[in-house]
Every structure is written in structure tokens, then in C-alpha cells.
Amino acid sequence: MSKPTRNVGFVSTRFAGTDGVSLESAKWAQVLWDHRYVSFWYAGKLDRDPEVSMLVPKAYFYDRENVAINEEVFGRRHRSPELTRRIIDMAEELKKTLYEFVQKFDIHILIVQNALCIPMHIPLGVALTHFIAETGIYTIAHHHDFYWERPRFAVNCVQDFLNMAFPPSLPSIQHVTINSAARQELAWRTGNSSVLVPNVLDFENPPTIDDYASDFRKELGLSDDDIIFLQPTRVVPRKGIELAISLIAQLNDPRCKLVVTHEAGDEGLEYRDALIELAQHSGVDLRFVYTRVGEKRMDVAGRKIFSLADAYANADLITYPSLYEGFGNALIEAFYYRKPVLVNRYSIFITDIEPKGFRVIAMNGFITRKVVEQVRRVINDPKYREEMVNHNYELGKKFFSYSVLRRKLRSLITNFTGMDL
């Protein structure tokens, strides 16, 4: 007899775009689908099929009332009785929608994505905690970022809510962390054990290359001789993009261009403007191409839009000089697309990725002559470059593939149901 179909409910503030939570959730859903688990979606912002999703605008972290609450919550030590009532009232309203979601789609297992660890939406976290406590529904809480990792949440007047719901300690919840440091910190702070599930890519199926992006360089005003250093990240200070500019300045090769795929804005435009000024003073050709690289291929106003995969396919080297990362999706993507990569040895890379034996151009917070020479060798020695990227791809298949995710989900679900995935 074939296994019965079971329904899984994904819950977060947002499932839309190319943020890490949305991308990893889609990968989980794909692996579960392969084993007859049907995924349904609940969020304040959605780009999922309306037939299998429930849009609740109040659950979005940019909801007007939630933004107003956050403005009164962080940066101060005391709150008013009225603010407490607003949080509780909004949580009660959202809890009703969670009951509707689970009933409407006959959800058997809840997978909460980041809504029970980082307090972007305190009422939603409280609502989820109360709902799980009241129903005892099997819940996997997938934690990408914790509030104690972000200085902006350090001073607040809701520590009681944070202790209760970010994350909660309930018998029907299994916690999942994405790196070993977070796993240790969660256990130390809350006493909750967790399963480490790294972010993954489909290494069993190599990326396909077609003719669509054959004019990528031409469309971006680049020549065939140019050497593309791709920075596939948002433009925020922790990405350390100034280090990529320093590298290219020291290479002193006019063919080298720094191409940044994502836009600024999440944390203001000052950092982007500072990078532009630095690049001009350093004689580095810096290009922000977020208007030409989108979530997927499409034509807008007669112009061609390229996917992030197209950008990777046309890159010569990936720069990843981040000062801090929760995991490092762009690094794993570099391995997947068989591209050499420059990495600033951020803490999670040191503990969770580097020991596995990946071959990268590693730096320790600054560009040295040795780093510059390694980059030159990678650019000028095709055989050396090919051996490096093929080695990394095979390790990626071993440690960060869908088969790894499948094994982890099998264990988590078996703990709940007694049934294999």
C-alpha cells in the first residue's frame, strides 16, 4: 500500500522573493513533496499559489500596527499597560487565523520558519506559542536568526515575551538550527536541544546552462575580455564589499569588474554611497545591476532580465568577504555553480564549512599579497581553477545536498509520527 498523503503547514511573516527563509522553505517543501507531504502556506506576504496558501496581511512584519508596536518596544526598558494590551489583542486575532489555517487545509504538521526566534513580529510569535500550547500540534521550529544575535534587539521592554515565545519551550516542538554556534547558544540560553540542518542546494542535479544569458555581458556593457568578480549579496555593511573593492584595486587590472547583484535599502543607502566613493578613489569599476538581475527571467519594458543563476554562470570569480553570516547561502551557491570564491573567514565558515575541506581563497579580515596572488592564479590557471571547483562541487554534494536535507527531515518527522518520510 502506498503511504497516505499528509499536509504540512509552513508559517512565517513572509514567503516571497529571494530571502533565505523563503528559499530554504521552498527546498523543504520540494523534498517533502517527493514523499507525499503536501505543503500549505501561511504568511503576511506571499508569492505562493493562492489555492494552497492563506494570506494574512496582519502577519507581515511591515504591517502598520506591528511597525508601531516595534517602534515602542525596542530601545527602551519599560512599556505601558496599553502597549501590553495591543500586543495581546493582536496575538489573539492572529491566533484565530492560525486555527482557520490548520482547519481549512487539514494540517498535520506545522513548520514555523523564523517566526519563533527573531522578534520581527512579536504578536505572531505569541500567537504561535499559544496556538501550539493549546493544540499540541506537531511543530518543527526552523530558526535562521535569533534575537540575541542582533544588537538592535538588545534593549527592549518585552523580555518576558521574548523568553516565552522566541523560542518557546513546548513538548510538541522540535527545534532546528542552521549552524553549530546557534545550536550551542540555544541550548545554553533556553535548555532546548535542536537538530542542525544546514542550508542546501540540489547538488544531485547540476545547474543547466542555456542560450538565454549568452548576451549577459553585452547587456551589462561588459566585454568578452572582462573578468567578472560577482558579489551576489545585498548591499549592507556586514557583507564587507569594501574588501572586494580593495582586492580589485590591488590586482590593478582594468579588465576586472565588480558586479553586485542585489540592491541596497534594507539598512539605508549610506553604505552603498560609501562604496561608490571608495571605488572611484580606488579606480575600480563597480556596477550595481539589481535592475537587470531579478528573481526570475522576464521582460520588463522591453529589457531583458537575468536570473541570479545567469549571473553565476557568467561570473569568473565570486567575492564573499562577509564579516558575519548566519550560514552562507552565496558561498554554497558558488560551489554549486562551480565558481572559485574568495571568502573572508567569518565564524560560521570556520566552524561549519571550512573543516569539511572546501578549497577557497581565504582571507582574515584584510587583503594580503598572498590573497592577491592566489586570485591571480585562479584567474590565469584554468586547470588549477577546474580542479578547485570540481572538488568543491563533490563536497557540496556530500554535505549540503537535498539528500542531506532528506535524512534530517526523515528523522524529525519520524520522531512525531513513527512513520518514515
In this prediction, residues 99-125 reach a mean pLDDT of: 97
pLDDT at 186 over 90: yes
Q: Are residues 251 and 151 in the same domain?
A: no
Q: What pLDDT sits at residue 266?
A: 58
- The percent of residues above 90 in pLDDT, for the chain, comes to 85
Residues 280, 374, single domain; the answer is yes
pLDDT at 172: 96
Co-location of 122 and 232 in the same domain: no
Per-residue pLDDT tens over the stretch 257-275? 999 999 876 567 899 999 9
Q: What CATH code is carried by the domain that includes residue 342?
A: 3.40.50.2000
Mean pLDDT confidence for 328-348: 96
228 and 309 together in one domain: yes
Confidence of residue 1 (pLDDT cuts 50, 70, 90): very low
The x, y and z cell numbers of residue 148, run together, are: 540575541
Is 177 found in the same domain as 319?
no
Q: Are residues 336 and 233 in the same domain?
A: yes
In a domain, 134, yes or no: yes
Same domain, residue pair 55 and 177: yes
> Residue 298: what pLDDT?
75
In the prediction, which pLDDT does 17 show? 79
Both 332 and 388 in one domain: the answer is: yes
Q: How confident is the model at residue 295 (pLDDT cuts 50, 70, 90)?
A: confident
Q: Which domain holds residue 283?
A: 212-399
205 lies in a domain? Answer: no
Closest by alpha carbon to 53, among 93, 94, 105? 105
Q: Do residues 100 and 245 both lie within one domain?
A: no
Is 126 a residue whose pLDDT tops 80? yes
Strands 14-15 and 109-113: unpaired
Q: Look at residue 408 and tell me if it is in a domain.
A: yes
Does residue 147 lie within any of the structural domains? yes
Tell me, yes or no, whether 207 lies in a domain.
no
Task: Express each pLDDT in 212-251 by its tens digit.
Answer: 999 999 999 999 999 999 999 989 999 999 999 999 999 9
Q: Tell me how far apart the alpha carbons of residues 386 and 332 are, in angstroms, rounded to a whole number.
A: 17
pLDDT in tens, 345-386: 999 999 999 999 999 999 999 999 999 999 999 999 999 999
* pLDDT value of position 418: 78
Q: Kindly state whether residue 1 falls inside one of the protein's structural domains.
A: no
The whole-number pLDDT of residue 265 equals: 64
What's the total number of domains in the chain? 2
On whether both 119 and 184 belong to a single domain, the answer is yes
Indicate whether 252 and 368 sit together in one domain. yes
Q: Is residue 217 part of a domain?
A: yes
Confidence at residue 27, expressed as pLDDT on a 0 to 100 scale? 95
At residue 207 the predicted structure's pLDDT band, cuts being 50, 70 and 90, is very high
Same domain, 143 and 218: no
pLDDT digit string (tens) for 46-58?
999 999 999 999 9
Is residue 206 assigned to a domain?
A: no
